[in-house]
Amino acid sequence: MSDVILSEVDGHVGIVRLNRPDVLNALSLELMKKLVAQLEAYDDDPNIYAILLSGSEKVFAAGADITDMADASTFEMYNRNQFARWERIKKISKPIVAAVSGYALGGGCELAMHCDIIIASETAKFGQPEINIGVMPGAGGTQRLTRAVGKAVAMDVVLTGRFLSAREALSAGLVSRVVPKENFYDEALRIAQELAKKPPLALRLAKESVLKAHEMSLSDGLEYERKLFYMLFATEDQKEGMKAFIEKRRPEFKGK
C-alpha cells in the first residue's frame, strides 16, 4: 500500500504531497498525523527554508475523511483532540506554499488556509460544504475564510456549501495567484524556491508578523511588527543585504 503522504526535498524546499487518490485525498487521522509530523520535521531541518504542500492535479483534498467521523459521538470527537494537531500546523515557522488544483473542500480548504501563499490552478474549487453533511467547518473555516474574503462571501460559502472557482477565490482574496493547470505545481515550486533564497530569519519573522494581523489590534500589531523589525538588525543577513544593495551585487544570505 502506498503511503498517504509523499515527501521529497528539492534544494532548500521541503515538499509534501497528499496521496490518497482513491478518496480524493480525504484527510484521514493517519494522513493528518503524518502530515503534521513531516511539516514539523521540515521546520526543524536547518537545510530547509521553505515548504511546498500539494495534492494532485485532480484534487488538493476533499476534506476530512467522512468515514472517520460518521459514527463518532461528541465525546469521541472531543477526545480525539484533533484541534491540537491543526494548531501545530499553525505553529510552523517556515513559509508554506500550497499548490491547489481541483477540489479544496472542508478540511482541504482549511488546510490550504493554514498555508501562507496559495497558488491555485484554473481548475481549483474552494468550499466549506460541511453544511451538506449536517455539520459546519471545524478547523477554522468560519474564522479564516471570513478574515480572508469578508462576511458576505464567507456566509454564502459556509451556509450554502457552494464552491468558489479559482477566479472567484482570486477576486475574493482567498488565493494570490491563479495559473494554468498544466504548470500549477511547477509554478508553486518555483515560488517556494524563490522564498528559499530569501534571508530565512527575515522570512520567518515577516510571516509571524503578517499572521498577527489577524489576532491583534492595529496598534498592538504595529508595535509587534516594530520589535521584529528591530530584531533583524541583529542579523548578519541584514548587514549583508544592505551592503550588497549599496555595492550593486547579489546578497549571499546565511540565515544568521
Q: Give contact residues for ligand DAK (rule: CB under 6 A).
A: 23-24, 26, 62-67, 82-83, 86, 103, 105-107, 129-130, 133, 138-139
Catalytic residue among 98, 112, 130, 225: 130
Least Å distance between CB 57 and ligand DAK? 14
Nearest Cα to 184, choosing from 124, 125, 109?
Answer: 124
Residue linked to cell 527554508:
49
3-state DSSP percent of the chain in helix, strand and coil, to 5? 55, 15, 30
**At its nearest, how many Å lie between ligand DAK and the CB of residue 121?**
16
Q: Annotated catalytic, 168?
A: no
Q: Grid coordinates standing for 201? A: 530569519
Residue 166 Cβ vs ligand DAK, minimum distance, rounded to whole Å = 15
Closest CB 153 distance from ligand DAK, rounded Å: 18
**Residue closer to ligand DAK, measured from CB, 95 or 107:** 107
Confirm whether 244 is a catalytic residue: no
Of the listed 14, 63, 102, 107, which one is catalytic? Answer: 107
User: Is position 107 annotated as part of the catalytic site?
Assistant: yes
- Residue labelled with grid coordinates 502530515: 35
Determine the Cα–Cα distance for residues 24 and 73; give it in Å rounded to an integer.
Answer: 25
Considering the complex, state which of residue 14 and residue 106 has its C-beta at the smaller distance from ligand DAK: 106
Distance CA(206)–CA(100), nearest Å, equals 23
State which residue, 72 or 231, has the beta carbon closest to ligand DAK: 72
Is residue 110 annotated as a catalytic residue, yes or no?
A: yes
Residue closer to ligand DAK by CB (options 106, 200) is 106
Residue whose CB is less far from ligand DAK, 107 or 200: 107
Q: Are 53 and 98 in contact (CB under 8 A)?
A: yes
Residue 190 is given by DSSP the state H
Kindly name the residue from 63, 110, 148, 196 that is annotated as catalytic.
110
CB of 66 to ligand DAK, least distance (A): 4
231: β partners: none
Q: From the CB of residue 250, how many other CB atoms can be counted at a distance below 10 Å?
A: 9
Look at the block and give the residue holding cell 513559509. 95
Active site positions, annotated: 64, 107, 110, 130
